[in-house]
Structure 1
Amino acid sequence: MIKIDDMQIPAERYEDVDRAREALQQDEVIVKDNEGSYWIVDNENFPKIEPYGYERVQPR
């Protein structure tokens, strides 16, 4: 879960981008936070967290 202020976004955290890529499902994206962790979030939730420094990572 990604928590930003009063917003909670369902997400799964990964330390390794390759593991995140293996777990990625359709309609999901991988994002990287400012601390170097990778997260899988629904595609529709990405615009909600992008202004807070979450950066989209290419799936392959």
Structure 2
Amino acid sequence: MIKIDDMQIPAERYEDVKSAREALKKDEIIVKDNDGNIWIVDNENYPKIEGYGYERIDPNSSTE
């Protein structure tokens, strides 16, 4: 769960991008917070957290 002020966004935290890629499901995206933590959230919830420093990670990129 990602908690920002009074918002609670359903999310799952992962140790690294590779683990998140393996768990990724349809309609979900991988994001990284300002502290470098990796999360999976629903596509529809991303706009709610984007302004708080959560950066979308390309699940197909090998640079992470």
Aligning the two structures, in what range does the TM-score lie when normalised by the shorter sequence?
Answer: over 0.9
In structure 2, stretches of 5+ residues that fail to align are none
1:23-34 to structure 2, matched below 5 A, reads 23-34=23-34
What percentage of residue pairs aligned between the two structures are identical? 78
Higher percent of residues as helix: 1
- Determine helix, strand or coil for the equivalent of 2:35: coil
TM-score, normalization by structure 2: 0.92
- Residue 40 of structure 2 aligns with an amino acid whose one-letter code is I
In structure 1, stretches of 5+ residues that fail to align are none
Q: Which runs of 4+ in 1 moved over 3 A?
A: none
Alignment match, 1:6: 6
- How many Å separate the matches in 1 of 2:52 and 2:16? 21
What is the CA deviation profile of residues 7-34 of structure 1, one whole-angstrom value per residue up to 9, with x for unaligned ones?
0000000121000000000000000001
- Determine helix, strand or coil for the equivalent of 1:19: helix
**Paired positions, count:** 60
Q: Which has the larger radius of gyration?
A: 2
Query: Offset at 1:58?
Result: 0.2
